[in-house]
Amino acid sequence: MPVRCPPLKTCDKGNACLPCRHFRHRRHATLAQYPDSTVLIPRTHANPHGHHPLGPGTFDLHLRQWLTDIAVTDELGRPVKVTPHQFRHTYAT
């Protein structure tokens, strides 16, 4: 299942945008572990086929770690704050 993202030029008004390549990388990593998964980030326990997503609190924790790992910054090089709610405003969801 391909992940569709808006072009980076649609990010404006000071909103942070994650490049599509990071969503694609996450999707490929999930599919490598769970070939039949339909979620972007599956929970790691009691989920043999990867069909169940992480819970909200766990997702937030993993999101913060992921953003740190991929070093998402604004145009001045400062780390950006991205919340789970912001994903509702993208084409990636």
Domains of the chain by residue range: 19-89
Sign, CA torsion 61/83/85/2: negative
Give this prediction's pTM.
0.51
- Per-residue model confidence as pLDDT tens digits over 26-73: 888 889 999 988 888 888 889 999 999 888 888 888 788 888 888 877
Cα–Cα nearest to 59, from 48, 47, 44: 44
Residue 5: pLDDT band with limits 50, 70, 90: very low
What would the two tokens of residue 23 be?
A: 């969503």
Contact (Cβ atoms closer than 8 angstroms) between residue 66 and residue 30: no
Residue 85 confidence (pLDDT): 78
Structure tokens at 61: 């924790």
**Whole-angstrom Cα distance, residue 16 to residue 6?**
12
CB atoms within 10 A of CB 23: 20
CA-based nearest residue to 28, from 11, 16, 15, 40: 40
